[in-house]
Amino acid sequence: GKPIEFGAKLSVSCVDNYVFLDKISWENFNESCHLKEQVEKYKETFGYYPESVHVDKIYRTRENRNWCKERGIRISGPKLGRPPKNVSEEEKKQAHSDECFRNAIEGKFGQAKRRFSLNLVMTKLPETSITSIAITFLVVNLSKLLRQFLSLFLSLFTNNRTGELIKPPFINFDYTLNNFYVLKLIDLSENSWSKVA
């Protein structure tokens, strides 16, 4: 009579919309125990502690809060205990901002399931399933990297002030146009479309 979930359990972190697979296990584990490891892994990777950690309710234990406070890390979410009667506008704005920020990881799970078949892992062995899951998150990160590269590439061809396409300085359009004319690929006569364009 109880709902049961089958498969691996993941602990994932998201930094600048890139996903890091921190822990994967076939055993049932409490995610809150791994917050310290994840933050320390962040410090190893980037060389400093994060300014804030945006976590789910299960991570907001007293031990995790004290550990983050000792290191100057702000942990998202309301304080433990009875909620205060009067909440300032600044605190409401911060809580809303934290919740919006935390939605990024939920969106990454949705993206991995909908677009990259995370919910359709059909492998039989634990090792191949782990590999399949890890490759899924690798492809999620590669798609993000490709979007960034494409936007950088397209920004070379646009005028930032007006958003119009511009002629890149490294392409000689007159030379290219003359070559097309010589090869009879376009017509440069008075009433042709090229003059109108």
* DSSP state string for 96-165: HHHHHHHHHHHHHHHHHHHTT-GGG----SHHHHHHHHHHHHHHHHHHHHHHHHHHHHHHTTB-TTT--B
Say which residue the tokens 């060389």 belong to: 47
**112 near 138, Cβ under 8 Å?**
no
Q: How far is CA 123 from CA 8, 32, 117, 131, 151, in A?
A: 12, 28, 12, 10, 36
Closest CA to 54 of 105, 108, 111: 105
Give just the sign of the alpha carbon dihedral 30, 9, 12, 110.
Answer: negative
From residue 13, how far is each of 22, 46, 120 by CA, in Å? 7, 14, 21
Spatial contact of 20 and 49, defined as CB atoms under 8 Å apart = no
Q: What is the pLDDT of residues 104-125, one digit of tens each?
A: 888 888 888 888 888 888 888 8
* Percent residues over pLDDT 70 in the chain: 78
Q: For the whole prediction, is pTM greater than 0.75?
A: no
Round the average pLDDT of the chain to a whole number and report it. 78
Distance, in Å, from the CA atom of 18 to the CA atom of 5, rounded to the nearest integer, reads: 26
Range with lowest mean pLDDT among 22-31, 86-95, 172-181 = 172-181
- In this structure, whether the domain defined by 9-148 belongs to CATH 3.30.420 is answered with yes
Q: What are 156-172's pLDDT values in tens digits?
A: 776 666 555 555 554 45
pLDDT at 75 over 60: yes
Q: Can you list the pairs that 105-113 forms with residues at least 24 positions away whose Cβ atoms lie under 8 Å? A: 105/12, 105/13, 105/14, 105/19, 105/54, 108/12, 108/14, 108/17, 108/19, 108/140, 109/12, 111/140, 112/19, 112/136, 112/137, 112/140
